[in-house]
Amino acid sequence: ASYGVTVLDCVGADVKVSDKYAYAGEKITITIVPEQGKRVDTVAVADKNGKAVEVSCTADGTYTFKMPKSKVTVQVQTVDIIRIEMVIDNPCILFNGEPFVNDVPPVLIHDRTMVPVSVITAMLGGTSEWDGTTRQVTLHLDGQTFVMTIDQVIAGFDVAPIILDSRTYVPVGYIMGVLGADVQWIGDTREVIIQK
């Protein structure tokens, strides 16, 4: 017997499945085209009892799952893309196209782009805490916690967070690698674009 595949309404994306009916064990592909300014946040597939079915993301950006012995529902949620544009030594940041003047600019130190971590974390939807006794910065973002100590090299990076003008700076690669944002460097204009 074949089982039905129902796609629940999704705000912010067009969602299609490779088959509306499938046999148990068959691979189903989910293709998602987000609207302008949106990105896929979660893709969930559940069987008739509400039990989660494992979903894999493929290299081409589609998602797949193996059909269980049950009808399934596919639910996709989108979120707004966050875009942060900064220029080295310029305190004015573009946040989703709107100007925001920060009290400190991104800087270049030893050919590394260093950004003020608390303002970037806040723009990405997180929070940060400073502990002056231990000289540690704790970031909370997307349900995760990251702890860094000033002047101690961050694991996986050959540079340590530093303090400039009473603000904690981290390498922009840290924002990309740990906080899950895409970072683009435009050398000609000394511009950093962060998207998540």
Tokens of 190: 């000394």
Residue 39: its H or E element: strand 38-47
**What pTM value is reported for the model?**
0.71
Tell me the C-alpha distance between 101 and 177, whole Å.
25
* Token pair recorded at residue 10: 């999704």
H-helix segments, the chain:
117-123, 172-177
How confident is the model at residue 90, as a pLDDT? 96
Q: Which residues of the chain have pLDDT under 70?
A: none
Tens digits of per-residue pLDDT, 9-49? 999 999 999 999 999 999 999 999 999 989 999 999 999 99
The pLDDT score that the predictor gives to residue 54 is 97
Contact 157, 171 (CB under 8 A): yes
Instruction: Please give the order of strands across the beta sheet that includes 38-47.
Output: 21-23, 2-7, 72-80, 38-47, 52-53
